[in-house]
Amino acid sequence: MDFQELLAFAERNPMLSLALVGLTVAIIYTEIARLFRGFKALRPAELTALINRDNALVVDLSPSGDFEKGHIAGSKSVQLSQFDPENKLLAAAKALPLVVVCRTGQASADAAKRLKKAGFEQVHWLDGGIAAWQQADLPLVKGRH
């Protein structure tokens, strides 16, 4: 296929061509935005390494009932409704690696953005949340601690 055939296709299918350009721009924008957002998504294995290597503080935003049913060992429970970057537990960890987790990864990504804006230096979130952790066959502990 040469450039003339490609141009002819674009002329015959303007909506399809426009959709392709729009999707390409959206993907490029998303990837560039991810590079500059200041916090990093972690996979479960990366989180395990960060906990073991750098003693990261893991903050679980799950509702208390879900937290008690299963959470990452050593994580601290902070209810999403009470999440505040100025929280005493969080404020003490401003220079430490801090990882925010939730059940699916959606709420924790938003919380990570808030922490970065509040001046936290090493902010991470568990991509896919506790569900991804379980899918990687990593253990959860039950109870309040």
Phi, psi of 63 (to 5 degrees): -55, 150
Selecting among 102, 111, 115, 130, the annotated active-site residue is: 102
- Beta partners for residue 99, in sequence order: 58, 124
SS3 138: coil
Task: Give the chain's radius of gyration (CA, Å).
Answer: 20
Tokens of residue 144, six digits: 């309040």
Burial of 62 (0-12, 13-18, 19+ CB in 10 A): buried
Active site residue 102: yes
Q: Which amino acid is at 127?
A: D
Q: Among all residues, which ones are annotated catalytic?
A: 102
